[in-house]
A and B are shown apart, each in its own frame.
Chain A
Amino acid sequence: MRIEQIQSLDETDVARGLLRAPESVAAGYPSPAQDYQTAPINLSEYLIRDLNSTFLVRVSGDSMEGAGISDGDELIVDRSLTAGDMSVVIAILDGEMTVKRLRLINGGVVLQAENPSYPPIEVQELSELDIWGVVVKCIHNV
């Protein structure tokens, strides 16, 4: 059997209400918190300043332990920011994306690891450096 058309009820909501019982019926004392309800915390809102220019990357290696960045952590990288002295940056070195601390001291440009076993890399000029983005947050796996 197929019903092609039923026109007697024009309010669909009414029709649905007649055909189906509501799934739960609210009864009892109303929640005292109902006037205070707002949206739950949205992590993206707190961690990401600009959704368009922000990318996530994953760390491989332990050279940034001193900056609280461990192997396997995820980094939140904002490409729209301009790197300055002490910024943790993603730099392109030999075709690889590499995470380092940028130091601008006395006209010198240095990419530092935060682990004594890795030597710093000196660069002649900031313009020679290919900086992919600035690290703003680290998601550390505890």
Chain B
Amino acid sequence: MHPQRVADPTERAGRDFIGLIDVNSFYVSAERVFDPKLRDRPVVVLSNNDGCCVALSKEAKALGIPMGEPWFKLAASAARLNLVAKSSNYELYGQMSDRFISVLLDCTPEVAQYSIDEAFVKVRGTMSELLSWAKMVKDRLWKHLGLPVCVGIGRAKVLAKLSNRAAKKLDHLGGVCVWESVPERHGEQLLSNLPVDEVWGIAGRMAKRFNAMGIETIQQLRDADPVMIRDRFNIVMMRLVLELRGVPCLPFEEATEIKDQLIFSRSFSEPVTTRATMEQVLGIYAQRASARLQKHHRQAKVVTVWAMTSHFNADGAHGPSVTIKLPSATADPVILTRAVKAILPKIHEGVRYARAGVVVTDLRKTGLEPTFDVFADAHEDRGIGPLIESIRTKLDQPAIGLGAAGLKTGPAWEMRREMRSPRYTTHWDELPVVHAV
């Protein structure tokens, strides 16, 4: 059943609802689709360089492992706990996230992706239609993709978020909740038990300020005078109060997905100590920046490059940076790679750099202004950027690159992903294996 087809046309007016759908423990769930052995086991997914836990399965949470726990503290006891750790498999998560959004688009035309594993939708209908639509979405995502989700629906975004949280926490709801269909008595009880910092957009310090004026629970916040809240805090907090009352104030779509800058920076798995290695690192970041710009049809006019020693460096900190104004806006990998080399004279041989980054700013839409830079851009029309990207996708990431970034010899600083599962959905040589036995 589709909630947009409302039986009673008089009900249609003013019956817009917002839904929030998110995947439960997304990274872990994506791993479990292709590796059934991970089901029911405690699983954690680790951050870049296998540093700390960024996703935990329900079973791992039950063991008392906190989010962000460094892996080195857990590794020794993993076998005893039956705990499995996985390196981040971004190729897999990205693909499953794209499919998640596509399936949602099959269920309703208005979808606004909020993060890799969450999306807001606009839906209409009676309470029972909304409830059965929510169940349909949940079942479809489970059947088609193997991803478990929770669906929360409410009159406003903040209520959708709250509703989603209820769907997640209260087992008897079966993973779906329409806030306005919760019996008033239960709803009020819930709101009077939840602290203000459970409201989307209210964090620790803000919560303390509310507490200081006697607002401890979400119920008290909702019932506070919105004008007083605006005067004591700001317009953003007043909007939250109104949203809690079911008055939509937040825009359905967030601002453009690509902001006015893109940042590529990483900590190295081991320090970079030579200019030559730094050139290779920055060359790779520049080419990633180029690929991302091209994907979003953007060009940059300014590139900033920086490198940094560790905060704990005994020999004193060193953090050179250079900003380069490009002759014209570009996403060309050759020009960006050339530009980032401007920092190399400032890199000291022998200093142990722990991080480096490339930031492209002053972005504009591709083709917005004509490029007329005959001397620098002669190769630009030949599509070197897209060509490199297609080779890197077809073969493997290090298959080709410009300049030092194309060197195959061991970039020791590259991200460590020792416990990464196969890239099941993007690499022909890493397809899941099915047994014919």
Contacts and interface: CB of A to CB of B under 8 A. Distances in A.
A9 to B, nearest CB: 8
B433 A97 contact: yes
A140 interface: no
20 contacts: A3-B373, A3-B374, A52-B99, A52-B144, A52-B145, A55-B425, A57-B431, A58-B431, A59-B434, A61-B435, A61-B436, A64-B436, A69-B436, A75-B434, A80-B143, A95-B37, A96-B36, A97-B432, A98-B437, A130-B36
B372 A61 contact: no
Contacts of B374: 3, 19
B434 A57 contact: yes
Nearest to A114: B436
Contacts of A19: 374
Interface residues of B, number: 27
B433 A58 contact: yes
A99 B432 CA distance: 12
A79 B433 contact: no
Interface of B: 36-37, 39, 99, 102-103, 106, 143-146, 327, 370-375, 424-425, 431-437
Nearest first, the 7 closest Cβ-Cβ pairs linking A and B are A61-B436, A53-B144, A12-B370, A95-B37, A63-B436, A58-B431, A97-B434
A79 B327 CA distance: 51
Contacts of B371: 12
A63 B437 contact: yes
B436 A12 contact: no
A6 B327 CA distance: 13
B437 A15 contact: no
A52 B106 contact: yes
Contact of B103 (A6, A52, A55, A75): A52
A20 to B, nearest CB: 9
Given A12-B370, A58-B432, A79 B437 contact: no
Chain B CB within 10 A, most for which of A50, A52, A92, A130: A52
